């Protein structure tokens, strides 16, 4: 049956709910506070969570917000409280809770809510990453506040961005859990009143206005006139100015309406120091949704990602994270794996120029003949690395600390590299 997590600080309630649910054939895991709930959720990936609101360390509403912000609200959550109010129930539902049960909870009501939640959970799409996940980054926190402030008074918002900007990440901040998210660029059918009614309370999205077909442009303008009536939000982005869009087929008057309220977004190049956190969240989101195996980045790997230019922006970074997570052979992705999977041309270029440098610089190690350039890249690189490490092991008397500093490799990676090359250091830190 299903895996259900029960979170409540009262031991009697935990045991009672556990007994009822186990009698129904479910596998039940218990947590007495938010810390235990986080751990249980990460380890067990439950199909449903019963979450108490009033707990001593972190309350249930705060924990629900945390899961929603981090893209971890991938399972239905049913809130429980003996002191609940209508406002609390409404807030929990707005954040993403499926249902609200008032204590004491009758057995039939409990089982009905659990069965409904499990049915809904099978249809539930994985949560998407948004700015709400970034609680430590000042630039991203400020951007989130600006977006919320602007959209508090406007149902339509245009993001102006550099090529490859973070339009999707910013737009997802406005996505309402459990409500429709319609990508206008993915539709080839005319938008109808019935479709707007079904999407009520949700969002219409377009990453780049310049890529919309004529029909998709008409769909956007059709929805723009009806946002208020059907309780919808429209979020669009573009890298183009108005003149370019008009030249590309847009009508000037409706385009001017769409651009009445706009916000400039920073490029990924301007967010270079935020890239490690963005990459970590993207990877966690992929693992959470089951799109990749369990993976994590080492500190050196995150630094490698931060140092890359990412000329195509956020979309390129997302694709890179997915690619390396699927291709990596170990659970921890290190900097060598980043270079091997994502940037082989950069590695090859450095290797290919090494023989010429050696030939003209007496102080560099000998042993690389010109024929090295005729070898396959992997063999040429291995030959250069062996000569490189043999030279430094000899010069530094096999001192591993100095070799790690010169090569720029962490000690663990250095030992692994020497082992792969059939070389051995001898004197450790002496």
CA 217/CA 251 separation, integer angstroms: 9
**To 10 degrees, the CA torsion angle through 111, 113, 118, 122?**
150
Helix (H), strand (E) at residue 30: strand 27-31
Q: Are 147 and 170 in contact (CB under 8 A)?
A: yes
Q: Do domains 3-123 and 353-420 have the same CATH topology?
A: no
Supply φ then ψ for residue 41, to 5 degrees: -65, -40
Residue written as tokens 């992705």?
Answer: 333
219: its two tokens: 């769909």
Q: What is the mean pLDDT of residues 238-264?
A: 89
pLDDT above 90 for 263: yes
CA distances from 188 to 97, 192, 263 (A): 33, 12, 28
- 5-18, pLDDT tens digit by residue? 999 999 999 999 99
CATH of 278-342, one of 1.25.40.80, 3.40.50.1970, 1.10.8.60, 1.10.10.10: 1.10.8.60
Q: Are 202 and 230 in contact (CB under 8 A)?
A: no
The dihedral built from the CA positions of residue 126, 127, 128 and 129, taken in this order, carries a sign that is negative
Task: Name the nearest CA neighbour of 67 among 275, 292, 284, 274.
Answer: 284
- 292-334, pLDDT tens digit by residue? 888 999 999 999 999 888 888 898 999 999 999 999 999 999 9
- 120-135, pLDDT tens digit by residue? 765 555 567 889 888 8
CB within 8 A of 175, min separation 6: which ones? 128, 130, 181, 203
Tell me the three state secondary structure of residue 13.
helix
Q: What is the mean pLDDT of residues 69-74?
A: 73
> What CATH number labels 131-264?
3.40.50.300
CA 382/CA 378 separation, integer angstroms: 6
CA 415/CA 422 separation, integer angstroms: 11
Angle at Cα 217 formed by Cα 216 and Cα 222, nearest 5°?
95
DSSP 8-state symbol, 122: H
Task: Give the pLDDT band (50/70/90) at residue 362.
Answer: very low
Whether this model's pTM surpasses 0.75: no
CA distances from 33 to 29, 57, 62, 104 (A): 13, 7, 12, 19
Which of 87-91, 226-230, 347-351 reaches the highest mean pLDDT?
226-230
- 29-41, pLDDT tens digit by residue? 999 999 999 999 9
Residue written as tokens 């963005």?
Answer: 278
Supply φ then ψ for residue 414, to 5 degrees: -65, -45
Q: Where do the structural domains in the chain lie, given as residue ranges?
A: 3-123, 131-264, 278-342, 353-420
Tell me the three state secondary structure of residue 119.
helix
> What CATH number labels 353-420?
1.10.10
Please name the fold of domain 3-123. Answer: Rossmann fold (3.40.50)
CA 161/CA 264 separation, integer angstroms: 6
23 vs 120, which has greater pLDDT? 23
Cis status, amide bond into 104, omega within 30 of 0: yes
């Amino acid at each position: 049956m299903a895996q259900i997590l029960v979170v409540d600080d009262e031991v009697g309630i935990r045991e009672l709910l556990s007994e009822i649910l186990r009698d129904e054939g479910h596998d039940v895991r218990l947590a007495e506070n938010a810390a235990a709930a986080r751990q249980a959720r990460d380890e067990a990936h439950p199909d449903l969570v019963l979450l108490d609101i009033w707990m001593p360390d972190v309350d249930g509403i705060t924990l629900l917000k945390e899961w929603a912000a981090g893209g971890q609200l991938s399972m239905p959550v049913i809130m429980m409280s003996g002191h609940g109010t209508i406002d609390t129930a409404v807030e929990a539902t707005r954040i993403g809770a499926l249902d609200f049960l008032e204590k004491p909870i009758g057995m039939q009501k409990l089982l009905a809510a659990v069965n409904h939640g499990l049915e809904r959970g099978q249809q539930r799409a994985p949560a998407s990453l948004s700015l709400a996940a970034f609680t430590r980054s000042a630039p991203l926190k400020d951007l989130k506040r600006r977006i919320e402030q602007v959209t508090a008074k406007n149902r339509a918002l245009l993001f102006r961005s550099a090529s490859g900007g973070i339009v999707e990440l910013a737009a997802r901040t406005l996505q309402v859990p459990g409500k429709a998210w319609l990508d206008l660029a993915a539709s080839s059918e005319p938008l109808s009143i019935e479709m707007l009614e079904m999407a009520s309370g949700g969002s219409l999205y377009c990453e780049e206005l310049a890529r919309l077909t004529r029909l998709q442009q008409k769909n956007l303008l059709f929805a723009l006139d009806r946002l208020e009536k059907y309780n919808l939000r429209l979020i669009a982005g573009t890298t183009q100015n108005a003149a370019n869009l008009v030249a590309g087929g847009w009508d000037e008057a409706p385009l001017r309406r769409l651009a009445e309220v706009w916000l400039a977004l920073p490029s990924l190049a301007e967010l270079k120091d935020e890239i490690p956190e963005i990459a970590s969240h993207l990877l966690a989101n992929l693992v959470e949704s089951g799109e990749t195996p369990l993976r994590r980045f080492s500190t050196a790997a995150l630094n490698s990602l931060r140092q890359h230019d990412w000329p195509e922006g956020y979309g390129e970074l997302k694709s890179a994270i997915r690619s390396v997570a699927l291709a990596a052979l170990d659970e921890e992705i290190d900097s060598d794996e980043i270079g091997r999977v994502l940037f082989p041309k950069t590695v090859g270029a450095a290797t290919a120029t090494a023989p010429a440098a050696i030939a003209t610089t007496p102080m560099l190690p000998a042993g690389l003949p010109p024929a090295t350039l005729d070898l396959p890249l992997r063999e040429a690189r291995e030959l250069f690395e062996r000569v490189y490490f043999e030279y430094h092991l000899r010069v530094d008397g096999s001192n591993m600390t100095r070799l790690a500093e010169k090569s720029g490799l962490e000690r663990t990676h250095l030992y692994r590299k020497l082992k792969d090359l059939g070389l051995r250091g001898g004197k450790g830190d002496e």
